[in-house]
Amino acid sequence: MSAFPDSGLLHPPLDAPLARLLVSVRDPAEAEAARLAGADLIDAKDPDRGALGALDAARVREIVARIRAEGGARTSAVADGPRGIAAMAATGVDWVKVGLLPGLWGDAAALARAAAAAPGRLIAVLFAEDEPGPELVGVLAAAGFRGAMIDTAGKAGVRLTDLAEPHRLGTFTAACRAHGLMSGLAGSLRVSDIPALTAHRPDYLGFRGGLCRDLDRRNGIDPLRVAEAARALRPGARDAA
């Protein structure tokens, strides 16, 4: 039995924090469009390079500068593996994301070195295909990570909800809360997934393809879809409008 029971996850307290909207972008124009449409976190990555394709540092700096000049959103960027963490941290993003394959999960020294390259700013991305357990969250917290999220490695139509049962996602986000880490869920999500996934109380839900034109992650961000997702995540604001 899991150390993080499922009790209460499907019906979080009414005062539970709302999940925020992470939108992955590839250039400053997309970043600005996503921000204006309601994104809370602008995530820089290259959608043509798979789940965790890193942009070059100069492009990330441009994105960070655009968002900081306007305000209203935080920034993150994908690092090109553990060796690229320090370089991406130097761009000034609020958080750096790095993919962690199972071979690193048990290497406490390597995890600590990775976290030290972006102190207090490193987010671990774990792939649903690898079936990460909630016990890994404690390992990441001890190593100095700031947060953890579950994504999908494949981007050919297989979705997070196809790979991970609700109980697995609930125990993961509960583990993050217990260890003081931010949590995120992503992986070919659609706006229609928001009600079920917010029940697990993640800090962020991450989108790319589901908010692009024709639902194709290689196309540009569609501001109308971003705005739809933002409204779905903020029902109180929508009702008050």
Cβ neighbours for 101, distance < 8 A, ≥ 6 positions apart: 127, 130
Beta carbons within 10 angstroms of residue 171's beta carbon: 22
Residue 236 φ/ψ, nearest 5 degrees: -65, -45
Q: Which residues contact 205 (CB under 8 A, 6 or more apart)?
A: 19, 20, 21, 22, 184, 185, 186, 189, 193, 194, 197, 198, 229, 233
Antiparallel, parallel or unpaired: β 182-186 and 204-207? parallel
Q: List, by residue number, the catalytic residues.
A: 45, 97
CA angle 21, 25, 26 (to 5 degrees): 170
Half-sphere exposure of 54 (CA within 13 A, CB side): 21
